[in-house]
Amino acid sequence: MLGRTLSLLFDREIGMSELEHSGYKGIALRLLQAAGCQVGDIIRVISKDRIYEGILIPRAELCDAASIIVKMKSGYNVGVTAFEGVVVEKIGVGVKPMFTSPLLPKQNSVLPRVVIMSTGGTIVSRVDYRTSAVRSVMSANDLYSVVPELSEIARVDTEMVFSMYSENIAPKNWTELACKVAECIKQGVDGVVVAHGTDTMGYTSAALSFALQNLPVPVIFVGAQRSSDRPSSDAAINLIGAVKVAGEAPFAEVGLAMHETVSDSVIVVHRGVKVRKCHTSRRDTFKSVNGFPIAKVLDQKVIMESGDYQRRDASKQLVLKADFCEKVALVKFYPGMDPAVIDFYVNQGFKGILLEGSGLGHVSSVCFDAIRNATAKGVVVALASQCIWGRVNMNIYDTGRDLLSLGVVALDDMFPETGLVKLMWVLGQTGDPEEVKQLLKSNIAGEFMLCTFPQEKIVYEGM
């Protein structure tokens, strides 16, 4: 279906899609076929003595009502219910709805070379006539062409790796993406930008942080919370910021660039393993958790936020370790949780379980037997806190100590999502239980901070 949508919108050589792919069904489809109408034609619909004239617009398949959508001269769409007795006439051939890219701007040879890789998501999305909802269909190339400012920042190449909603992206896609990025970097680009849906962008940025080691140049993830087909989209500003950072920032790590606040002013770059989506819809949804941003972009300038980063150095040799184990589960503890949940994963042959414990790192003692059984069978059980903010410390209460004695690995200040990705990555690297534990505890990509600092401004408020 997505393929259909793509050709409908992008294949400029192919004519209008046939009616049966336009979403019309049943009586509406029959009436339109009988009148010889195609989407984009100018039609007249006469129903209950009312006359509607305008362009035939594709129908959202997901709607039940059998109605014909007409875009009237005023630009408004209206739906006309189709039933026997409704008259449909084709009165002209109209403009077919499609998106035309402006010409690509010229490239300046002194500017850094940046590759924008597209994986899908809001940042590369437009209206889908099939569902009338927003869909990821724009290629990175289209995106570049509608953000001409990029031509003043970098020489941009674009590559479409895949076009997926981010919730459909799986560890095997991380592997594919990591390999593509590595290929680009080996060809000597000055930076890579990955356009990604925001829902799971934090997972992917963590995954690539582990998979791409000893980076010579930055790899910057970027997304948008408002689709790029609306004037208020954050896509252009985020993208401009990301390309700027990828092209010229002094660091060489995996970062994630998005709005710092609800204003279109500062773009902030978070460390790939320390960033989490924290709001369903706001532009500043991504926050550094138990860590601080690496850099900011303000007024077209990259400003480093600390001196603690891996330096950009074109002579560095990239190490690619792109294997992930998919047999890893994220299990969130909750009051009354049945330990059978843990048994299930063990019986299914899972290699690792990331427990999302409460508070400083606890789960009910009711689960102890199941956990003991898991570790005895060689399943790696690691624990991060569902509090999101703060550090796990399993030495404070009996429960924590008991869990440690059962072989649970405490993931300190890693929040659960990064913990999960790391467990997948570690198990993709080695099967040896001791090596796994040792790797889990080593700081690979800045996922551990030795101390946790307050992230908000703390103000002394008087007596």
- Of the pair 177, 235, the CB lying nearest other proteins is at 235
Among 67-75, 386-394, 418-426, 450-458, the segment contacting other proteins (CB under 8 A): 67-75
Residue type, 349: G
- Do residues 441 and 409 lie in contact, with contact meaning Cβ atoms separated by under 8 Å? yes
87 lies in the site for other proteins, by CB under 8 A: no
Under the binding rule (CB under 8 A), the answer on residue 233 touching other proteins is yes
Instruction: Tell me: does residue 179 bind other proteins (CB under 8 A).
Output: no
The three-state secondary structure class of 9 is: helix
- Cβ closest to other proteins, residue 50 vs residue 172: 50
Minimum CB distance to other proteins smaller for 9 or for 367: 9
What residues have CB less than 8 Å from 334, skipping those under 6 apart? none
Long-range contacts of 232-237 (CB under 8 A, 24+ apart): 234/258, 234/259, 234/264, 234/283, 235/122, 235/123, 235/124, 235/143, 235/147, 236/146, 236/147, 236/149, 237/264, 237/267
Q: Please, what is the minimum distance in Å from the beta carbon of residue 224 to other proteins?
A: 12
In the region spanning residues 94 to 133, those forming contacts with other proteins, defined by CB under 8 A, are 95, 97-100, 127-128, 132-133
Coil, helix or strand for 380? strand
Q: Site mask, other proteins, residues 235-264, x = CB under 8 A?
A: -xx-----------------------xxxx
Q: Which residue has the tokens 């289209």?
A: 142
Work out how close the CB of 287 gets to other proteins at its nearest, in angstroms, rounded to a whole number: 15
Verify binding: residue 300, other proteins, rule CB under 8 A.
Answer: no
Residue 71 binds other proteins (CB under 8 A): yes
Neighbours of 100 (CB within 10 A): 7
The residues that are catalytic are 122, 198-199, 277
Residue 121: name the closest of 77, 169, 80 by CA.
169
Four-residue CA torsion sign, 243, 245, 248, 254:
negative
Write down the least CB distance from residue 450 to other proteins, Å: 35
For other proteins, the closer CB: 2 or 63: 63
Structure tokens belonging to residue 81: 């219910």
Residues that bind other proteins (CB under 8 A): 47-48, 50, 52, 55, 57, 60, 62-63, 65, 67, 69, 71-81, 95, 97-100, 127-128, 132-134, 146, 225-233, 236-237, 261-265, 280-283
